[in-house]
Amino acid sequence: MNVNGLKVTKKIIMSFFKAIIIPALMMAWTVTTASAATLVSAEGTYDADQLILNIYAQLDTPVVSQCIKVTFNPDELSIVSADKNESVWYFGDSSTNYPYKDPEISTDSVVILGGKLDTSDPTAGVSGDKVLLGTITFTRATNTMPVSDPESLFGITLSLGKDRTTYPNYVNFASTTGEDLDSTVTFSGVSYAVICSLQADINGDGTVNLSDFLIIKTHWLQSGVTYEEGDINGDGTVNLSDFLILKTEWLQSCN
Ligand SMILES: [Ca+2]
Ligand SMILES: [Ca+2]
């Protein structure tokens, strides 16, 4: 009886440990680990003509400024536009002594600087798991689709906006309490996805093939038809012009 009771007691203690203590320890570890994280990442979507890059940051500590640098392969990419996310990063009316800087664009890099000082809530700062810092749109020099190795082709890397060796007193990421967070910043690689831009992919499945051809065939020489009915070039009729676009993109795929 006593032995059984001891076993039951041990079992209850182990269950309690597994159910309560271990998750609590794990949660504490997670919170402690994540509390100072500043992770900068980017997502690029591209087609044969362009690449659109969104740069994000995980900001566990509220910050009042951020400054990142995006370096790229100038033989492949040239910049159309670079914009900070102005819905988040702005200075309020009473902060006229702080210039609202535009992105600094050069032939192979862009520096995007953003700050937030809300006059109605000056210590709030910016925080969040995935805060958009800015968006860069590039045109591509070579029209290769799809790209098997976008990482090396585009050559995009992320780093602190101002090099702390050259600018030792410059703080790229500053907390609402004035703390220098630059040493906490880590950078992930850029993830890429293809924007499907095949004109003749009428049914939108990512490939130009027999299914698309059959749509054209069904509506051949009809007028007053839509794109979904095979009017690829949008002139209102399904005819040879549409077929020739299909022929050009035949068996091409976005995936
Ligand atoms: Ca298709
Ligand atoms: Ca047409």
Ligand 1 centroid–CA 16 distance in Å is 56
For the cut 80, the answer to whether the pLDDT of residue 248 exceeds it is: yes
pLDDT of residue 189: 86
Length of the chain: 255
User: Distance (Å, rounded) from C-alpha 51 to C-alpha 81?
Assistant: 11
Ligand 2 centroid–CA 198 distance in Å is 15
The number of the ligand nearest the C-alpha atom of 249 reads: 1
Q: Per-domain residue ranges for the chain?
A: 1-34, 38-194, 198-255
Ligand 2 centroid–CA 52 distance in Å is 30
The confidence band for 79, taking pLDDT boundaries of 50, 70 and 90, is very high
The number of the ligand nearest the C-alpha atom of 202 reads: 1
Architecture of domain 198-255: Orthogonal Bundle (1.10)
The number of the ligand nearest the C-alpha atom of 214 reads: 1
Ligand 1 centroid–CA 244 distance in Å is 15
Q: What residues pair up with 78 in beta bridges, in sequence order?
A: 139
Q: Hey, which CATH number is domain 38-194, 2.60.40.680, 3.40.718.10, 3.20.20.60, 3.30.70.1050?
A: 2.60.40.680
Our CA dihedral for 236, 239, 245, 249, rounded to 10 degrees, sits at 120
CA atoms within 13 A on the CB side of 131: 26
Ligand 1 centroid–CA 145 distance in Å is 16
pLDDT tens sequence across 143-191: 666 677 899 999 999 999 999 999 999 999 999 988 999 999 999 989 9
At a CB cut-off of 8 Å and minimum separation 6, what does 148 contact? Answer: none
